[in-house]
């Protein structure tokens, strides 16, 4: 069985409940489609669980893709604790990422409690640049292995039948999508595509409530052709949407 999940956004309990629900066996594959951080209170814990799960089961059984929130976070990190100047922008112009991390809800989960307590006493005295640099360097000090793993996450995962990706691909290029889809589209494509394609495209990023036109929809959305969207808005629905694919029967189902 192949299971896909997306947009966990720092909510550890719904992720644990989803894993308990499917209870994957040794032959099953798990594909996570990005956006593991921000919004919820346990971003660091979510990342560590996925990292440990992949280490335990192997990268061929646990596939972890990157989303736009990981992309933006890594760009911010490189800007203030790496070779990039704060005046430069990379894939995503989110150098102000820390300002969006309300209450440091993501950052503080990637820094030890002792270091964060010491850092918090300094924060009011720091300029914006110094604050960004201090927080970024603290994260690299305490979560270096996790960040190195995060940097290596791929943008998509392909099987004979499916393309798994955070936001989408450039379908106008047909089978040339691998070479011609801009990196930004993998994590930021909008609006999402519907209709026929030569493979099934499984993506997150766009809430299924928006696609369905129903604020109460927090499960899997299927367009009736070749697209499955699985961002169930965990912060609103309280659970992680799961798409299951039976590799023997070739059938999909929502778990």
Strands 2-5 and 243-246, how do they pair? antiparallel
Task: Output the pLDDT for position 96.
Answer: 72
pLDDT at 116 over 80: yes
The pLDDT value recorded for residue 82 is 75
**Mean of per-residue pLDDT scores for the chain:** 93
- What's the pLDDT at 11? 98
In the predicted structure, residue 217 carries a pLDDT above the cut 70: yes
Instruction: Give pLDDT tens digits for 45-104.
Output: 999 999 999 999 999 999 999 999 999 999 999 888 876 554 444 555 555 788 889 889
**pLDDT value at 107 more than 60:** yes
User: How many residues belong to the chain?
Assistant: 255
Domain boundaries, the chain: 2-66+153-254, 70-149
CB 227 within 8 A of CB 194: yes
CB neighbour burial string for 119-158, b if at least 16 within 10 angstroms, e if fewer: beeeeeeeeeeebbbbbbbbbbebbeebbebbeebebbbe
Share of the chain above pLDDT 70, in %: 95
**pLDDT given at position 89:** 47
pLDDT of residue 172: 97
Q: Answer yes or no: is pLDDT of 169 > 60.
A: yes
Confidence (pLDDT) at 3: 98
pLDDT of residue 81: 85
Q: Does 2-66+153-254 carry CATH code 3.60.20.10?
A: no
DSSP letter at 183 equals H
Q: What is the mean pLDDT of residues 157-185?
A: 97
**Which of the four pLDDT bands, split at 50, 70 and 90, describes residue 12?**
very high
CA distance 94 to 75: 7
Helix (H, G, I), strand (E, B) or coil at 162: strand
Distance, in Å, from the CA atom of 96 to the CA atom of 50, rounded to the nearest integer, reads 26
Q: What is the pTM of this model?
A: 0.94
Higher-pLDDT residue of 87, 201: 201
Residue 84 dihedral angles phi and psi, to the nearest 5°: -85, 140
* Confidence at residue 94, expressed as pLDDT on a 0 to 100 scale: 53
The pLDDT assigned to 123 comes to 86
């Amino acid at each position: 069985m192949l299971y896909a999940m997306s947009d966990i956004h720092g909510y550890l309990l719904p992720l644990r409940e989803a894993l308990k629900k499917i209870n994957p066996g040794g032959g099953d594959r798990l594909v996570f489609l990005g956006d593991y951080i921000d919004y919820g209170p346990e971003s660091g814990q979510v990342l560590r669980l996925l990292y440990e799960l992949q280490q335990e089961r192997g990268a061929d059984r646990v596939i972890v893709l990157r989303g736009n929130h990981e992309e933006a976070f890594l760009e911010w990190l490189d800007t203030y604790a790496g070779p990039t100047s704060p005046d430069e922008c990379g894939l995503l112009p989110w150098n102000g990422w820390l300002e969006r991390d309300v209450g440091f809800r993501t950052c503080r989960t990637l820094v030890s409690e002792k270091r964060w307590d010491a850092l918090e006493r300094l924060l009011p005295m720091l300029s914006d640049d110094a604050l960004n640099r201090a927080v970024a360097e603290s994260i690299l000090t305490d979560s270096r292995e996790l960040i190195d793993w995060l940097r290596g996450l791929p943008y998509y995962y392909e099987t004979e039948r499916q393309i798994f990706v955070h936001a989408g691909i450039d379908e106008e290029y047909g089978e040339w999508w691998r070479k011609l889809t801009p990196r930004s589209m993998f994590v930021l494509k909008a609006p999402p595509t519907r209709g026929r394609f030569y493979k099934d495209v499984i993506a997150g990023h766009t809430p299924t409530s928006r696609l369905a036109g129903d604020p109460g929809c927090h499960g899997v959305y299927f367009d009736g052709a070749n697209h499955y969207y699985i961002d169930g808005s965990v912060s609103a629905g309280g659970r992680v949407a799961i798409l299951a694919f039976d590799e023997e029967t070739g059938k999909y189902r929502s778990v």
